[in-house]
C-alpha cells in the first residue's frame, strides 16, 4: 500500500506579539510513521507541535497564518479554521508532554477521566478501553492489581507511560510527543522508545527530540526547525 499523507502544512507562520517564531513552513507527515522534529532550544518546536491540537487558542497576543489539514476518520479537516470542535480535535490528536503530568487521583480515575469528558460512562466500556490502553502502554501488568492507588506513587517512567495510556484511551489518530523521554533515566526512556515504535501501527506520531541517537532508533524520518524554518535532514 502506498504511504498516505496524514497531515499537510502549508505556509504556516506563528507570532508571539512582535516575535515571529515560525515562518511560512511547508511540510507533510505520513500516516503510521514517526517523524522526529529536532533543532536547538528556543526555535519553536513545541510551538509548532501545539498548532495541531490548537494548544495556543487561549494564549494572549498570538497570531497564526497559513493552513493545516488533518485527515481524521478518513475526512480532511482544517483545525485552524475551526471546522472541527475543539474537544473532538483533542480526542483525535493526543499529546504527551516533557514532564509526566498524572492527575492527583487514582490510576483508575486518571484513565477514566478523558472518557468521562467525552461522555463515556458505561462501566464495561470504560473498563475495556482502560485495559486496552494500559496494555498498549506496557503498563497493565504493573498496575492491574493496584488501580485504586494514587498515580503519584508511580515511578517516573511509569507516570509517563500512564500519561501515554491516558492519551491512548480515546484512540487518537495522531500523537504529539514533546520530548517524552527527557526527564527519564536510560532504562525508562528505552521503554518509552519501544512503546512509540509499537504505537505507529495505530497512529501517526510527531516526536520532538534533542537526542540524535534516539532519533536514529525510533524515527522514520527527521526534520530540523531552525531560524523559523523546517527542513528535512
Q: Is residue 86 part of a domain?
A: yes
Q: Is residue 117 part of a domain?
A: no
Which of 71, 108, 89, 96 is closest to 163 using CA atoms? 96
Element (H, E) at 205: strand 204-208
C-alpha cell at 92: 483525535
Which of 183, 156, 178, 154 is closest to 167 using CA atoms? 178
- Residue 57 confidence (pLDDT): 87
CB 10 within 8 A of CB 4: no
Tell me how far the alpha carbon of residue 26 is from its chain's centroid: 20
Q: Is residue 34 part of a domain?
A: yes
How many structural domains is the chain composed of? Answer: 1
- Residue 222 confidence (pLDDT): 98
Neighbours of 42 (CB within 10 A): 8
∠ CA(7), CA(126), CA(122), 5° rounding?
120
- Residue 1 confidence (pLDDT): 61
What pTM did the predictor assign?
A: 0.94
Beta bridge partners of 94: 175
Q: From first to last of the 233 residues of the chain, give the pLDDT tens digit.
A: 678 999 999 999 999 999 999 999 999 999 999 999 999 999 999 999 999 999 998 889 999 999 999 999 999 999 999 889 999 999 999 999 999 999 999 999 999 999 999 999 999 999 999 999 999 999 999 999 999 999 999 999 999 999 999 999 999 999 999 999 999 999 999 999 999 999 999 999 999 999 999 999 999 999 999 999 999 99
Q: Is residue 25 part of a domain?
A: yes
Q: What is the CATH number of the domain that holds 33?
A: 3.40.50.300
Range(s) of the domain holding residue 31: 5-100+164-232
- Residue 135 confidence (pLDDT): 97
- Residue 59 confidence (pLDDT): 87
Q: Is 37 left (phi over 0), alpha (psi -120 to 50) or beta?
A: beta
How far CA 206 is from CA of 52, 64, 96, 203, in Å, comes to: 10, 20, 10, 10
Q: Residues in the chain, how many?
A: 233
Q: Is residue 51 part of a domain?
A: yes
pLDDT digit string, tens, across residues 62-86:
999 999 999 999 999 999 998 899 9
Q: Which residue in this structure is represented by grid cell 493552513?
A: 67
**Distance between CA atoms of residues 201 and 199, nearest Å:** 5
Which of 131, 192, 207 is closest to 158 using CA atoms? 192
Amino acid at each position: 500500500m502506498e504511504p498516505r499523507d496524514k497531515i499537510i502544512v502549508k505556509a504556516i507562520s506563528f507570532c508571539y506579539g512582535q516575535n515571529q517564531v515560525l515562518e511560512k513552513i511547508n511540510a507533510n507527515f505520513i500516516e503510521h510513521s514517526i517523524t522526529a522534529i529536532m533543532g536547538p532550544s528556543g526555535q519553536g518546536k513545541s510551538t509548532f507541535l501545539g498548532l495541531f491540537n490548537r494548544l495556543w487558542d487561549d494564549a494572549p497576543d498570538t497570531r497564526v497564518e497559513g493552513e493545516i489539514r488533518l485527515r481524521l476518520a478518513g475526512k480532511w479537516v482544517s483545525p485552524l479554521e475551526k471546522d472541527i470542535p475543539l474537544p473532538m480535535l483533542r480526542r483525535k490528536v493526543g499529546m504527551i508532554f516533557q514532564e509526566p503530568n498524572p492527575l492527583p487521583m487514582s490510576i483508575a480515575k486518571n484513565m477514566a477521566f478523558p472518557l468521562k469528558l467525552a461522555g463515556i460512562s458505561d462501566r464495561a466500556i470504560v473498563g475495556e478501553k482502560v485495559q486496552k490502553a494500559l496494555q498498549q502502554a506496557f503498563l497493565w501488568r504493573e498496575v492491574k492489581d493496584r488501580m485504586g492507588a494514587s498515580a503519584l506513587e508511580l515511578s517516573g517512567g511509569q507516570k509517563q507511560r500512564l500519561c501515554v495510556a491516558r492519551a491512548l484511551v480515546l484512540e487518537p489518530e495522531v500523537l504529539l510527543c514533546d520530548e517524552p523521554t527527557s526527564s527519564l533515566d536510560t532504562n525508562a526512556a528505552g521503554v518509552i522508545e519501544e512503546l512509540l515504535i509499537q504505537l505507529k501501527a495505530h497512529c501517526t506520531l510527531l516526536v520532538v527530540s534533542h537526542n540524535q541517537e534516539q532519533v536514529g532508533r525510533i524515527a522514520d524520518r527527521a526534520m530540523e526547525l531552525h531560524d523559523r524554518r523546517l527542513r528535512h535532514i
